[in-house]
Amino acid sequence: MKYEDDYYDPEDSPVAVTFQQSDEQNDNVLRPKYLEDFQGQAKIKENLQVFINAARARGEALDHTFLVGPPGLGKTTLAAIIANEMHSEIRMTSAPALDKPKDLAGILTNVTENSIFFIDEIHRLKPALEEMLYIAMEDYEIDWVIGQGPSARTMRVPLPKFTLIGATTKAGSVAMPLSERFGITCHLEYYNPEELRDIIMRSSKLLDTTIDNDAALMLAGCSRGTPRIANRLLKRLRDFAFDLRSDTISTKIVRHGLERMGIDPNGLERMDRQILRTIIEFYNGGPVGADTLSISVGEAVETIEDYYEPYLIQKGYLKRTKSGRCVTQKAYELLNIPSRGINNVDQGILF
């Protein structure tokens, strides 16, 4: 697909786009298509605009770009925006979908000059594929083995100049030789409530629903700094407004809806509270390892590490130490449990 006057729409993509949340499947309408519609992340936007303008003026592919940050902050959206701004074709996949070297070689040998190849969850790429990618990124070639056994020989296949955009929630798990080959690195941060309010106001227009400014700010405060969560909650509150025969989502509807969904005014969900309660009641406040905690609360380790923990840590309810997770005094206060003295203060924070 070539994009000249038109923009890239993920729905038109010939390659499957995989989202972590099923609620996202009909969410394409909410995805900003150009940098000017992308709220927040001001520094990233300004720098990207400079790099894109320069690459376009030179008629070259943008340098390989590494997008790092927790789920739902806009990495996939940014990749599609870069493609639109560059007027480039984009192919999207995620590392777990690439099983064998031939899967990756098949895509790489089909990329076109100056186009974009997006790999989500790049920290999950298999080592053999990573090595193929090093050469593809640096020399725009791949080594391809023809035949088997003693008669096997390696052929170097040239590739067009393309841009790899790799996204990850775990920059620390990406091998150094891979991360070093990205010329541009963007660390996405959690959004502040005002930025999220603007995203909510924009989304409500696109969803053809109205929300009061105060209600949008209240919802923003409960959205864990994450646009994906803000959009998902907005859709549910639209349902509650419909149920209550209200044309507008007011602060009253936000309060009512969030309470019905088990979300407290800090944006904590039932599972957040269950994690804290389990650490207190079963492990005396911690430390407890991620695997043990995962079994105790019945939630996948990755979900605890990527979704629940960062917010609990950011809000000061949890800390990570060398020997595991420990709750803080604030967690005891939240759950109204007497602390009996916290014994995990000497563990040395892990960051």
Residues that bind ligand ADP (CB under 6 A): 24, 27, 30-32, 38-41, 71-77, 167, 199, 227-228, 231
The least distance separating ligand ADP from the CB of residue 79, rounded to whole angstroms, comes to: 8
* 76 is an active site residue: yes
Give the torsion sign (CA, 279, 349, 182, 100): negative
Q: Exactly one of 65, 77, 163, 169 is catalytic; name it.
A: 169
Do the Cβ atoms of 117 and 124 come closer than 8 Å?
no
Catalytic: which of 33, 228, 238, 315? 228
Which one is catalytic: 93, 120, 209, 226? 120
Q: Is 169 a catalytic residue?
A: yes
**Cβ at position 263, least distance to ligand ADP in Å:** 18
Q: Which is nearer to ligand ADP, 74 or 225 (CB)?
A: 74
**Which amino acid is present at 2?**
K
Give, in order, the Cα–Cα distances in Å from 287 to each of 168, 274, 284, 292, 342. Answer: 27, 16, 8, 11, 11
Identity of the residue, 227 or 267, whose beta carbon is nearer to ligand ADP in the bound complex? 227
| 303 labelled catalytic | no
| 301 within 8 A of 291, measured Cβ to Cβ | yes
Q: How far is the CB of 191 from ligand ADP (least distance, A)?
A: 7
Give me the catalytic one of 31, 33, 65, 76: 76
> Whose structure tokens read 């943008």?
62
Least Å distance, CB 52 to ligand ADP, is 16
Return all residues near 170 (Cβ < 8 A) that are at least 6 apart.
123, 306
Q: Is 75 a catalytic residue?
A: yes
Secondary structure class of 273 (helix, strand, coil) = helix
Helices (H) and strands (E) in the chain, counts: 14, 11
Closer CB to ligand ADP, 73 or 279, in the complex: 73
Between residues 75 and 315, which has the closer beta carbon with respect to ligand ADP? Answer: 75
Catalytic residues: 75-76, 120, 169, 228
